[in-house]
Each structure stands twice: as structure tokens, then as C-alpha cells.
């Protein structure tokens, strides 16, 4: 394939979750002709980078526990539904994202070599890990995006077709959909895996009378020759299939879910007015579940839409990508990490079934009832026996 040319990754911090290899392009220095806004953005980037590692580690630690709890609760027998199957695999993707980002934040932010610019490192194992991280994090994050789209689609079908929705959206179809998403994303990320590489720099360092060789490893991606076509293909895949199209679909599905919920609400009110209270309550429970899932979709949209817009503008103007998108990389990363960890809070606050299952699963040591006297309530009722009316007492605990 010929001898490839190499482009170094940026000397400053950047987004790994959002940009993949594109985010590793060298950032040009802001010249005197640059605007004051760009200069301020660069300064903000440098200041936030000092705390980004600590914030990321805290979010990841919470995300570990939260997503493990999600997986355990959502796989209980009483929780197995097509929607919960997708939520389970979404929690798996989020969990792997956290597991992957935690050592990245620790080594390249908190424990980084102060005399080396990002992402240079003296550890061979760490540069191998960085190359793995650059690909694995994109796979996990992209799977989470498309699983969210599948979640919104399944829920919309169930609401819009209340009688046939359970037939269209079965547990088996949800599992098949998740498998297709994971396999497709891995295949689509192959070009990104091909162009990532590393470079080695060696220099002699004098320490008193002793001279030793210092080896520094750097993350790069290949350019030139056949790699040029692979790079173009990778940019198209990342921009269109993992950014622009998902943002468009999430926006459309959010609108459709809101319309479907309004339609379901009117149906529920009609049943209530007809005196069919049991059916009305059942529809109300479905609506509450939909509201929770809509919150999941909207939060994901709020995380991905800014990246989608910035990606489009970056494709149009390269300087915008280098001077605006890149400095916001860490902010986009922490937004994505927070979104990966927040679902547990949504489930607990908006789903009684999830709360009850969580308590019964993890709080088995808690007493079922408080010790002490049980409350008694006497209720008088009338009963008829042998044509005579008599008073009886029923005790309710």
C-alpha cells in the first residue's frame, strides 16, 4: 500500500467520544488574525482541561454502579419486555464506555507527564491502550446512539398501534435489533481502526554523568496513498451515520413520540369519561412509561445534537472545526459521559416497577415492615342472613 504519511494527534486535549480519528488532527495555533472569541475558547479549553480528568473519573465511578444496577434490574423475569431488552443493551454500551474512559482520564489527564503534550506518553502499553480507546469508545458510543433510536422507534410503534404493537415489537425482535446494531457498528468502524497508528520518538537525555535514551510514543493516523481513500470513507461514515443521521432521526422520533403521547392521552380521557376506569388506568401506566423513555431520548438528543451541528459546520469550514469544535472536545465528552450515567436516576424517579424491583433485588436485607403493633381498622358492614339484616365486623390490617 506504499509508505504512509502520518499526521500527529492534537497537542491539546480533544474529544474522543465524539470525533474519533478526525478529532486527532493537528490543531493550528491561533494567529493574530484569529478572532477574540476563538482565543477565549482556547483559554477556556486549557483551564477546563485541568479539572476534566477529575470530573470524568467521578462521573465514571457513578456510571459503573448505576449501569450495573440497570442491567441487573432490567434482566429480572418480571422486567423482561421488548423495551427493557433495548434498555439493557443500552446500559451495557454505557457501562463499557465508562470502563474504557476511566483509565484514559486517569493516565492522560490526572497522572499525565507534565513535560509531554497530549497524547504523547512514555509507556508502550499506554499508547496501545490509547489506540484501542480511540476505536472502542466510538463503537460503544455509536451503539448507544442507535440503540436509543431503536428504543424510540419501538415505543412509538407500541403507542401508535396499541392493538398490534405487542405483535410488532416482541422481545425476540428487540434482541435481534440490538445484535444487528452492534454488528453493523463494528463493521462501520473498521476504516477508523485501519487509519489509527502510533509513532516512536527517541532522544538522548543526560542525567549528570549518565546518558540514557528516552523513548516517547505518539498516537498518529495514516495519510497518503490508499489510506487517503480510507480516511475519506471514515469521515463520511462518522459524520453521516454516527452524527448527522442519528440527530435527524432522534429529532423526528421525539416529535412523533410527543404526538403519539397526545393521541394516547385523548384516548385515555375518552375511556375515563365512558366509565372504563380500569382500561384508563392501564393506559395511564403506559403513558408514564412513555414519558420516562421520552426523557431518555430527549437527553440523548440534547447531547448529540450540538455535536451534529458542529460536525456539519466543521465539514463546511475546516477552520471552524479546528478553532471551535476542537476546543469544545472535553465539554462534549463530559456531556456524553453524564448522559451515559443519568438513565438510572430517570428510571428510579419515573418508574415504580423499576424502583420496586431494585429494592427487592438489592435491599433484601431491609425489613419488610417496621416492628411494633400492627394498625387495626374496624369496618362495619351489613350482611343478610335468613331474610334478616344483621351487623358484622371485619378487621382489616
State the pLDDT at residue 231: 86
Q: Determine how β-strand 196-207 pairs with β-strand 210-223.
A: antiparallel
Vertex 355, ends 351 and 357: CA angle to 5°?
115
Q: Is 346 exposed, middle or buried (0-12, 13-18, 19+ CB in 10 A)?
A: middle
Whole-angstrom Cα distance, residue 99 to residue 120? 22
Q: What was the pLDDT predicted at 220?
A: 79
Q: Cα Rg for the chain, rounded, in angstroms?
A: 28
Domain 5-369, second-level architecture:
Up-down Bundle (1.20)
Structure-derived torsion over alpha carbons of residues 225, 230, 233, 239, reported in degrees to the nearest 10? -110
The confidence score (pLDDT) of residue 36 equals 60
pTM above 0.85, yes or no: no
**Nearest partner of 268 among 252, 284, 250, judged by Cα:** 284
Summarize pLDDT for 117-145 with one digit per residue, the tens: 877 888 888 999 999 999 999 999 999 99
Residue 368: the pLDDT is 54
SS3 sequence of 323-347: HHHHHHHHHHHHHHHHHHHHHHHHH
Contact 280, 271 (CB under 8 A): yes
The predicted structure's pLDDT at residue 92: 97
pLDDT > 90 fraction of the chain, expressed in percent and rounded: 36
pLDDT per residue rounded down to tens, the chain (397 residues):
444 444 444 333 334 444 433 334 333 444 444 456 667 788 888 888 889 999 999 999 999 999 999 999 999 999 999 999 999 999 999 999 999 999 999 999 998 888 788 778 888 889 999 999 999 999 999 999 999 999 999 988 888 887 787 888 899 999 999 999 999 999 999 999 998 888 888 766 656 666 666 788 887 777 777 888 898 898 889 889 998 899 999 999 999 988 888 787 777 677 666 666 565 555 556 677 778 888 899 998 888 888 888 878 877 777 777 788 888 889 989 999 999 999 999 998 888 889 999 999 887 655 554 444 444 444 444 444 444 444 333 333 3
**Inter-CA distances, 217 with 99, 116, 123, 326, 397, Å:** 23, 10, 7, 22, 72
- The reported pLDDT for the residue numbered 248 is 92
Amino acid at each position: 500500500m506504499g509508505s504512509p504519511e502520518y499526521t500527529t494527534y492534537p497537542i491539546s486535549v480533544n474529544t474522543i467520544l465524539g470525533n474519533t480519528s478526525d478529532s486527532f488532527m493537528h490543531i493550528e495555533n491561533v494567529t493574530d488574525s484569529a478572532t477574540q472569541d476563538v482565543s477565549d475558547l482556547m483559554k477556556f479549553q486549557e483551564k477546563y482541561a485541568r479539572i476534566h480528568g477529575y470530573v470524568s473519573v467521578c462521573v465514571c465511578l457513578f456510571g459503573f454502579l448505576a449501569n450495573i444496577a440497570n442491567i441487573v434490574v432490567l434482566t429480572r423475569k418480571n422486567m423482561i419486555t421488548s423495551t427493557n431488552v433495548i434498555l439493557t443493551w443500552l446500559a451495557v454500551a454505557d457501562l463499557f464506555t465508562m470502563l474504557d474512559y476511566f483509565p484514559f482520564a486517569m493516565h492522560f489527564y490526572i497522572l499525565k507527564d507534565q513535560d509531554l503534550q497530549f497524547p504523547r506518553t512514555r509507556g508502550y502499553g499506554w499508547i496501545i491502550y490509547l489506540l484501542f480507546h480511540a476505536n472502542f469508545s466510538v463503537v460503544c458510543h455509536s451503539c448507544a446512539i442507535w440503540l436509543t433510536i431503536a428504543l424510540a422507534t419501538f415505543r412509538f410503534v407500541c403507542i401508535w398501534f396499541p392493538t398490534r404493537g405487542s405483535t410488532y415489537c416482541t422481545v425476540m425482535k428487540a434482541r435481534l435489533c440490538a445484535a444487528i446494531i452492534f454488528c453493523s457498528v463494528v463493521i462501520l468502524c473498521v476504516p477508523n481502526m485501519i487509519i489509527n497508528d502510533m509513532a516512536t520518538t527517541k532522544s538522548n537525555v543526560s542525567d549528570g554523568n549518565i546518558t540514557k535514551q528516552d523513548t516517547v510514543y505518539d498516537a498518529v493516523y495514516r495519510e497518503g496513498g490508499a489510506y487517503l481513500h480510507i480516511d475519506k470513507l471514515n469521515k463520511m461514515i462518522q459524520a453521516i451515520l454516527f452524527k448527522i443521521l442519528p440527530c435527524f432521526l432522534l429529532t423526528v422520533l421525539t416529535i412523533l413520540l410527543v404526538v403519539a403521547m397526545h393521541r394516547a392521552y385523548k384516548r385515555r380521557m375518552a375511556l375515563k369519561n365512558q366509565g372504563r376506569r380500569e382500561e384508563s388506568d392501564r393506559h395511564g401506566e403506559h403513558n408514564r412509561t412513555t414519558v420516562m423513555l421520552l426523557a431518555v431520548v430527549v437527553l440523548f438528543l440534547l447531547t448529540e445534537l450540538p455535536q451534529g451541528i458542529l460536525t456539519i459546520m466543521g465539514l463546511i469550514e475546516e477552520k471552524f472545526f479546528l478553532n471551535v469544535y476542537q476546543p469544545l472536545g472535553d465539554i462534549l465528552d463530559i456531556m456524553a459521559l453524564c448522559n451515559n450515567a443519568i438513565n438510572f436516576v430517570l428510571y428510579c424517579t419515573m418508574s415504580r416497577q423499576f424502583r420496586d424491583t431494585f429494592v427487592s433485588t438489592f435491599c433484601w436485607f431491609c425489613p419488610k415492615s417496621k416492628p411494633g403493633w400492627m394498625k387495626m381498622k374496624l369496618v362495619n358492614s351489613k350482611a343478610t342472613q335468613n331474610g334478616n339484616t344483621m351487623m358484622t365486623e371485619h378487621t382489616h390490617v
